[in-house]
Amino acid sequence: MKVKAPPGLVPGGVPLTLDPLPLLPECAALVTELSSPRLRARYPVPAYEGASLPNLAVSAYLHGGGAPFPGMLPPLDTRYGPSPGTEGSTQVVVLVDSFGWKMFLDLERDPPGETGRKVAAGLARFTRPITSVFPPTTSSALLSLSTGTAPGTHGIVGYTEYFPGWGAILNTLRFSPPWAKGADLAAGKHFTPADWVPVPSLFTRRSGSVALTKAEFEGSAFTRVLYDGAGFVGYLGLSDLTYHLRRVLEAPDGRRPPLVWVYWDLLDSVNHVYGPEPRFAQEELTHLLLALSSVARQLPVPVRNKVQLWITGDHGQVPVRPERSRAVHEDPTLLALLDRPPSGERRAAFLKARTGRQEDLRHHLVEAYPSGWTVLDAPEVIASGLLGPGPFHPELSSRLGDLLVLPGEGETLYSRPPGDRGPEEHFLWGTHGGLTPEELLVALAGLPLSELADWPL
């Protein structure tokens, strides 16, 4: 497989923990706990009991005046600080795609310039690690954030997924088969969010909420599901994002949204193209935080005192190498054993065996693939807590298939349809979806917006 190297860069890494750092004292213990191996004495598991992304969503929802509902996960535990906000406060959750814990450490280790050092110092006062969900990927994590439930409950368990009702594997962000050039081909004219995710969004439970995301996403099927019940505000770039966010928060008391969800995707794009390269992450995070602090400073003091800000990510990223990427379509034996193409992630692939061939499939994976790879039965995946505590989506077992394959460090397993096979021209030097701490742990900064206004920038 021939691929183009990233321009001028060779992906590398830094340790998950760095010393010394001006971090909150509880961070070291949290990192140790959240990254400790709980599955097969090797892999960490999302901390759905109070230290994961959907727990953050539940905390924001409850502090924004939402009422408890059946199947709701617990809020963040007490290690993440006192209950935020005041009566009638607005909860702003900024999801920075790919803002992993390691990215935060990169910023703290070597912030860009004097302004970057001030941003890093301010951020360190409020930032702790939490886990994403499994798989740690955008579609699964964002839907957990918008519903307050785990992937096993809302049912979206990967970038691609098999849906029995459609009889097909679909891209969960584009609502189309992975090979299709167009988006939303699986969303017919009578499509509703409940057709895809039967769990109501938090925005339908707490009316008057708002979502700010890229204008190009307006009207897409994924946006309709993700932000069902929220007002949509689209932006083109950082300048009008800050403008729209300030306008939303300037609404009079009683009309200010209780929940405001903001999505920013450029950090993830940079990490995919160049690998998880610290210098770009540092610049991207610094510019975004400067923009948010500008919003805070422009708001009247009584307004910003009623806004609680959360900044977090949906996953981290790890560097991968083309020579360590395995293609399913280049393994005739594996193809002959599969009932359908793999789904899920390149770093966490769900496989469905042909009838009566599950043990043959497992044997081939163990014998023909590197020793660092792990193969799990789907029932073990569910019982392990990777997908949450339940209640589980009624189609979950059918969507998963028979086996989950976790490639080793720096390795991936991918599949391309027959009409799209050949040299991979746009190799992703950074990726995610697996169970390493670098992929699973994300940063969470929780602070009153008034604090951000006071940063000496």
Stretch 243-253: mean pLDDT: 96
Q: Indicate whether 4 belongs to any domain.
A: no
Stretch 264-280: mean pLDDT: 90
Q: Is the pLDDT of residue 21 over 60?
A: no
CB–CB of 177/169 below 8 Å? yes
Q: Is the pLDDT of residue 313 over 50?
A: yes
Q: pLDDT tens digit string along 187-238?
A: 999 999 999 999 999 999 999 999 999 999 999 999 999 999 999 999 999 9
Q: Is the pLDDT of residue 264 over 90?
A: yes
Burial of 16 (0-12, 13-18, 19+ CB in 10 A): middle
Computed over every residue of the chain, the mean pLDDT equals: 91
Looking at the fold, whether 291 and 338 belong to one and the same domain comes out as: no
Residues 6+ apart with CB under 8 A from 251: 257
Q: Which residue has the higher pLDDT, 83 or 3?
A: 83
Q: Indicate whether 14 belongs to any domain.
A: no
Q: Which residue has the higher pLDDT, 188 or 2?
A: 188
Q: Is the pLDDT of residue 2 over 50?
A: no
Total count of domains within the chain? 2
User: Please, which residues bridge with residue 163 across strands?
Assistant: 168
**pLDDT level of residue 45 (50, 70, 90 thresholds):** very high
Q: Indicate whether 238 belongs to any domain.
A: yes
Looking at the fold, whether 298 and 352 belong to one and the same domain comes out as: no
Q: Is the pLDDT of residue 119 over 70?
A: yes
Looking at the fold, whether 294 and 400 belong to one and the same domain comes out as: no
Looking at the fold, whether 327 and 345 belong to one and the same domain comes out as: yes
Stretch 324-339: mean pLDDT: 94
Looking at the fold, whether 279 and 416 belong to one and the same domain comes out as: no
pLDDT of residue 280: 85
Q: Is the pLDDT of residue 76 over 90?
A: yes
CATH of the domain at 405: 3.30.1360.180
pLDDT of residue 83: 63
pLDDT of residue 84: 61
Q: pLDDT tens digit string along 400-448?
A: 999 999 999 999 999 888 877 666 656 788 999 999 999 999 999 999 9
Which structural domain range is residue 189 located in?
Answer: 37-319+441-453
Looking at the fold, whether 217 and 276 belong to one and the same domain comes out as: yes
In the chain, % of residues over pLDDT 70: 93
Strands 430-431 and 318-319: antiparallel
> Which residue's entry shows tokens 């519903």?
147
**pLDDT level of residue 12 (50, 70, 90 thresholds):** very low
pLDDT of residue 86: 55
Q: pLDDT tens digit string along 133-149?
A: 999 999 999 999 999 99
Looking at the fold, whether 332 and 279 belong to one and the same domain comes out as: no
User: Please, which residues bridge with residue 340 across strands?
Assistant: none
Looking at the fold, whether 381 and 449 belong to one and the same domain comes out as: no
CA dist., res. 94 & res. 261, Å (int): 6
CATH of the domain at 273: 3.40.720.10
CA dist., res. 17 & res. 284, Å (int): 21
Q: Is the pLDDT of residue 17 over 70?
A: no
Stretch 272-282: mean pLDDT: 87
pLDDT of residue 427: 79
Q: Indicate whether 23 belongs to any domain.
A: no
pTM > 0.75: yes
Q: Indicate whether 137 belongs to any domain.
A: yes
Looking at the fold, whether 131 and 279 belong to one and the same domain comes out as: yes
CA dist., res. 449 & res. 247, Å (int): 15
Looking at the fold, whether 315 and 328 belong to one and the same domain comes out as: no
Looking at the fold, whether 347 and 227 belong to one and the same domain comes out as: no
Q: Indicate whether 153 belongs to any domain.
A: yes
pLDDT of residue 254: 87
Q: Is the pLDDT of residue 9 over 50?
A: no
Q: Indicate whether 30 belongs to any domain.
A: no
Q: Indicate whether 292 belongs to any domain.
A: yes
Looking at the fold, whether 60 and 121 belong to one and the same domain comes out as: yes
Stretch 286-314: mean pLDDT: 95
3-class secondary structure for the chain? CCCCCCCCCCCCCCCCCCCCCCCCCCHHHHHHHHCCCCECCCECCCCCCCCEHHHHHHHHHHHCCCCCCCCCCCCCCHHHCCCCCCCCCEEEEEEECCCEHHHHHHHHHCCCHHHHHHHHHHHHCCEEEEECCCCCCHHHHHHHHHHCCCHHHHCCCCCEEEECCCCEEEECCCCECCCCCCCCCCCCCCCCHHHHCCCCCHHHHCCCCEEEEEHHHCCCHHHHHHCCCCEEEEECCHHHHHHHHHHHHCCCCCCCCCEEEEEECHHHHHHHHHCCCHHHHHHHHHHHHHHHHHHHHHCCHHHHCCEEEEEECCCCCEECCHHHEEEHHHCHHHHHHECCCCEEECCEEEECECCCCHHHHHHHHHHHCCCCCEEEEHHHHHHCCCCCCCCCCCCHHHHHCCEEEECCCCCEEECCCHHHCCCCCCCCCEECCCCCHHHHEEEEEEEEHHHHHCCCC
